[in-house]
Amino acid sequence: MDIRPLSIAGAFEITPRQFQDSRGTFAEGFRIDRLAEAIGHELHVRQTNISVSTAGALRGIHYSDVPPSQAKYVTATSGVFIDFVVDVRVGSPTYGQWDSVRLDTIDRRAVYVGEGLGHALACVEDGVAFYLCSELFNPARERGLNPLDPEIGLVLPEGFFPVVSDKDAAAPTLEAAADQGLLPTLEASLAYTASLVGS
């Protein structure tokens, strides 16, 4: 299993080794010890999510208040997705920037999205994404940004025509969320992550 840090601190791309024979393919999709080496603490899974999407679906940009936020480990069990990690942490050197990873059933990659980061998922081919989450969903603490905010400027695949939920379309831009005090800070995010060490 190869774990590579993305350009947004606190986010990682995980690529499993795959073993093939006449029966099919085997791979380790999640290793708590290997991930802990990268992120500095164990990911305690408190909820799993299954997201079934049709091509064109664009989900996000979603994030949660810190603390505790909600770290996510996301992979595709079918189809093709582009997974976006967006730095929405006020005070971060990469604030407003993003990185992305292609999730499919060829490389079987996963993405780890740390506390305080924004997350969006673009479905390129009909499929299913599977999430491991560090916290239970709490609608009172769930936040969102408009995924088509030009200031953030997510680059979608050529020929991709985004289908966005009414809720996501009505979400504020990054600038508006910052003005309203809705964004997490880098300081709070790092402090909470540090509190998880040894837990």
Residues identified as active-site: 62, 131
CB 145 within 8 A of CB 151: no
Q: Which two tokens stand for residue 50?
A: 């299954």
Euclidean distance between CA atoms 67 and 76, whole angstroms:
28
Please report where in the chains the tokens 């680059």 appear, as a residue: 155
Q: Which residues contact 193 (CB under 8 A, 6 or more apart)?
A: 10, 39, 40, 41, 114, 115, 116
Q: Characterise 162 by phi-psi region: left (phi > 0), alpha (psi -120 to 50), beta (else).
A: beta
Q: Which amino acid is at 39?
A: I
Give the residue from 78, 124, 101, 88 showing the smallest Cα distance to 13. 101
Count Cβ atoms below 10 Å from residue 138 Cβ, excluding itself.
Answer: 11
| Backbone torsions φ then ψ of 136, nearest 5 degrees | -70, 150
Helices of type H across the chain = 32-39, 166-169, 174-179, 186-195
CB 82 within 8 A of CB 157: yes
